[in-house]
Amino acid sequence: MSDTDSPRKLALHELQYLRELDTHLRDLPRSRRTELLGIADGNLADRPTTADGPELEAQLGSPGDYASDLRAERELPPERTDWWARWTAKSRTLRYLGVCLALVTVAGVVTGFVTYQRWAHWQADIETIGEGVTYAGTEPTDGIDEVRAGGLTQANVPFRHGRALQVDLMLYSSEEVTLTGIMFDGAGPGLLGPATIEVRSGSGDAAAFRPFRPVSLRSSDVWIRFVMPFQGCEGYGSEGDSGGYTSYTQVTARYRARGRERTQTLALPVVVSVLNPAPGECPAMPQPK
């Protein structure tokens, strides 16, 4: 094909005419609109160049009239002129963007929810790495027997009326955790009364224990001491009866980490089993003759 047979380049006013024509075809599907615009483009390219826009409209009619002719030739419905249809037709791209934005928003909400749940239910890795079970005061180990079976260690503690049980527990966490409270689960209503709680942080002897206060568990040698008086023996049978002991297996820690207060149950390294009172150990019970 020679250069003279090639479609000529459209003038600016002809390109403007095509843009205006496109606005009158916006309610049609994209494929149909592209087809009609291609027909109009070829028609313009095959015609001699007009001087300006008015001359072009004098030949083809206004862009709206030409669009109507193109529709009629292909038995397409007339242009919809209600404002909603026009807006809908002109905003297909915006709708696609809206769908994308909605999907991104949903993804963000889901990600945020999952992240929040992980943060809210996160628990620190708090280790109970040492425990000592003794009586408070003199003769601290009198009659206490530690046994190991099945991977567990149990301290069998004879009931001693008028004395108190002392449990020292060593805690540690590799994360930034501040212990704000701790409770010896089960102490209070049974054979052990409410606990007096002390803390020792850092090296030093037992004299370094003092009333509990918040302490960082990243410090070395953090010890918690529970001192619980023996009590309530009249409600229990004698040692050796069926169910003749009460076991204490865990403590509940409250701590501050990652911006919020949290609660966590910690298993005791040594299960504390307080044996029911032996004959003569409970003044409130009938004494053997």
pLDDT in tens, 238-249: 544 445 888 999
Contact assessment for residue 40 and residue 24, using Cβ atoms and an 8 Å cutoff: no
Q: In which band, very low, low, confident or very high, does the pLDDT at 211 lie, cut at 50, 70 and 90?
A: very high
Q: Which of 28-37, 78-87, 205-214 has the lowest mean pLDDT?
A: 78-87
pLDDT at 1 > cutoff 60: no
pLDDT, position 238: 52
Q: Where are any strands of DSSP class E within the chain? A: 126-135, 145-149, 152-157, 164-173, 178-184, 196-201, 210-211, 215-216, 222-229, 245-257, 260-275
pLDDT, position 225: 95
More confident residue, 9 or 99: 99
Contact assessment for residue 271 and residue 248, using Cβ atoms and an 8 Å cutoff: yes
pLDDT, position 203: 67
State the Cα–Cα distance between residues 285 and 142, nearest whole angstrom. Answer: 23
